Chain A
Amino acid sequence: MDRRDFIKLTAVTGAGATLASCGNPEHQLIRFVPDDDIVPGIAEFKPSVCPLCRAGCGLSVRVMDADVETVRNGQAGVVKMMVAKKLEGDPKNPISRGGLCPRGQAAIQITYHPDRLTHPMKRTGARGTGEYKEVTWDEAIAELTGQLNALADAKDQKSLVLLARPRRSRRLELFAEFLSRFGAPAPIGFELFAEDVLRRANAVSFGHEQLPTFDLARAHYVLAFGADFLGTWNSPVSQNAGYGVMRQGRQASGGTRARFVHVEPRMSLTAASADEFVPVKPGTEGVLALGLAHIILRNKLRPADAAGRAGAAIDGWSGGLQDFKPENVEKITGVSALRIERLAHELVEFRPSVAMIGGAPLAHTNGLFNALAVNALNGLLGAVDQPGGVFFTPGVGRSPATPHRPPATAPQSGADAGLAVKVMLIDDANSVFASPKAWKVREALDTVPFIASFGSFLDETSLYADLILPDHSFLETWVDSQPESGALDAVSTVAGPAMKPLHNTRSTPDVVIEIAGKLKSPVALPWKSYEEMLKAPVGSRESAASHQPPATAVKYQPPRFDGDAAGFPFHFLPYASQAFLDGSTAHLPWLQEMPDPLTSGMWSSWIEINPRTAERLGVALGDIVDITSSQGTLQAPVVVFPGIAEDVVAMPVGQGHENFTRYASKRGVNPIGILAPLTESETGALAWAATRVKITRAGGNDGRLILFAGEMRENPFEGRRQER
């Protein structure tokens, strides 16, 4: 091949030397012999599991060779290693089905994050100052073992608390096993958008204490109440796949395009794709659901008993829900009676139809009622366990973690158990960031004598740790997931390491096993290693169904809000941001720079205000406003947002980290901070949508708001010529 062909080839492939491989001092470093034989330039694909949310998507990791700088017995050098290059959805995985969400795509940056913790550390400075010194693993483990021994000696095992993210995973089972055998309370699961209310409701209505799975691929009519199921809620990737099919996947085989109606006060990413957007007063979603049910019952479109126990759980169901005549519902929800009539008829006409609820509607003081109402509607529509309806993934055990009840997140949670926490273990849960100030989580942490964290990064919570035993990244270790939703059949994903560890870290489950064995009175665990545990067959798990609270009929209680409408005229709606979810992925640069789908915001946080409201407040795009709740004040730039009710303001969760790597620290503001500590009356879950705020202009555009987009509308000057 002569030079010209070569140039042509490069012209086509765009190949060329990468900057990364030139201008580095690598050639000066010693080259170590690789541990395993590597075929350079040939990519392998290895399975893994996405750790970012409870959906637990199965991954296929592209692995190729690269020069990695390491230190071997004191000698700095480089070694060729197979390292992960890209994450794809695993086509064979029933959850991800080959797709992946933006967060999942960026998860690989966790492994390569420049601010990742690379070795065990012991605190030297005051708590929260982030001053640590490197220690060896032996020292670290000895330290923790010592602390646990001390508890054991004092017969005080109860005051050991483990704070983790509530996941259906064997990792958490292992922790639970260890704790119970040690004599400590079960792990405390903490997550902001935990959806415990929905689990409870499903237990009540259907006997499954788990999140639902929707058969969108076969549904003909979808009515969603606040559930951001295409963006951040439940199992987004599988739901996106289903959505694609329900819209355009069936025509080829003579099927029809499904209809999709979305009910919420602020148009979310999901509502943007809906055929019909139905704004409703916050916290009254359940009323609308029952209003629809009332019409169906009244017109005998469906048998009342179809709802079964789900119906029985609603007060006045058997009586045909007389309190929910369209006129009353219109008064409460703000949705016109006519529209309610129409929707009700469509629901029946276009069966199989399914209703879903999630997110904000459950984060009100009457969240459980809203959930139960929608469940009852599903029952009435015959959508439960039916094609195109709602399913419950089988074989899913109860979460080993007890859902937190405030102030349970605060470790003096011990308080309810009647004793104080002495030792606290934190596994990647950031309760400081994700709790209202009013919960005083910091203060609580300060009272804990000893805190150890297994996290890979210093965040607001692990900053309180006295000892840090950093975990491998999910690509460097055995990982597993038993998603509670997203597939019609039971799913259990287990995957080995996709690459060798980059840093001096250790797999946390193995560390726990090691510690268990090292205790003065060792705790006997059935497994020698986490790998062994994962390879062992999953034992027949007690079905979640057996745990069902007695069904008692609930009445509608109007949602309570913190702050009176006069002083605090706006409903404050924090929502899971498409990039950062609950803030746990704010440290990934790709996600920081990904334009928000609706506002195109990057690297910043903002508050979304209806155009007319903005006009009334005299604020424009980018202006700075004070957002004041009874709990405190935030400052954020304004995004004028046509898709939000005039009495609602919304704010993405995720920014506003005080300390979370170079990319997220001191960036934007954290709406959770000013939330009132109201809770869902039945379950005690945080009612994060129940706060009211007032807005006052604080200043002009100071460039704090970074947008990617220029204009909001496609034709901004339409009809301008007529005016002038």
Chain B
Amino acid sequence: MTFAFDLILCLMILGTAAIALFVRDALAAIAFFIAFGNLMGLAWLGLDAVNVALAEIAIGAGVTGVLLILARARLLALGDAATSTGSPLLLRLGALAACAGFVVLLAAAVLSIPPESGLDRVVAPLMPGLGIENRVTGVLLAFRAYDTLLESFVLLGALVAVWSLAPAGAWPGRPADPGMADAPMRRVAGTFGQLLLPVALVMAAYLVWAGSDLPGGAFQAGTVLAGGLLVAGMGGTIGLPSSDQPLLRAALVLGPVVFLAIGLAGVAAGGLLVYPAGLAKALIVTIEYTLFLSIGVTLALLVAGPPMPGASDPDPEGKG
């Protein structure tokens, strides 16, 4: 029975992906991509990887969807419908043959590897030393904390990269207003945003708190926060901050810098990112709470896009 579920799910994942890629209309493509993200979330549930499912649903179905819809709307306003146009038949045939061959090869390689949770056996005995139960959090914030540290700066760098695209005269400034042009819509969305933002904040805080022992964690929580901020931004509940606000900058760098500082402080205990015995959980939770805040704000601003001229309406309220 479970296998039937898995099989149908996999077929639907492939189907939605194929339509998302090849349908002519851009909005249909994005709608299918959102559905694809949702189904991927289910796939992770099917694999009992709830930690990943949380991130996938929040990002794949939530944040990336908004990102693509906004991008399409902005392109459409410029007369670019982003419809898929065909390429030469010969190219398509060649690509088809090449990709089909590649998939066969890849599938054969994949099938030659038995699925097993080999490193789980390595991780499990190390967990008691950390004082937390969630093994994925253990990997992310202890055993492979170095990756995660660098990753948090990649996210920050992506925002800087987006900002670097600001057109002449728009710097420093705000991203294009994502709010509704239509007043009745703005009212509805505003009410919703007012409700959702605090709920998202609570939910995110819960995910971090739960993330020590249950599925959850900073990345998942940050994404939920970003979703809340985006809805609130679109409903006009909060204004988008100007790129040069000190408070905003502080919110952006807070998580990565705290992570880096704790990592360097570990040198006193024996080396980079060494957590002193007994302090591991406290340090991990500290890192996660600051990181989730920064990730949330960074993701929301990433979606909002670079500062734009004329997007300068007054709202001293920062996002952080």
A and B form one complex? no
Q: Give A residues with C-beta under 8 Å from B.
A: none
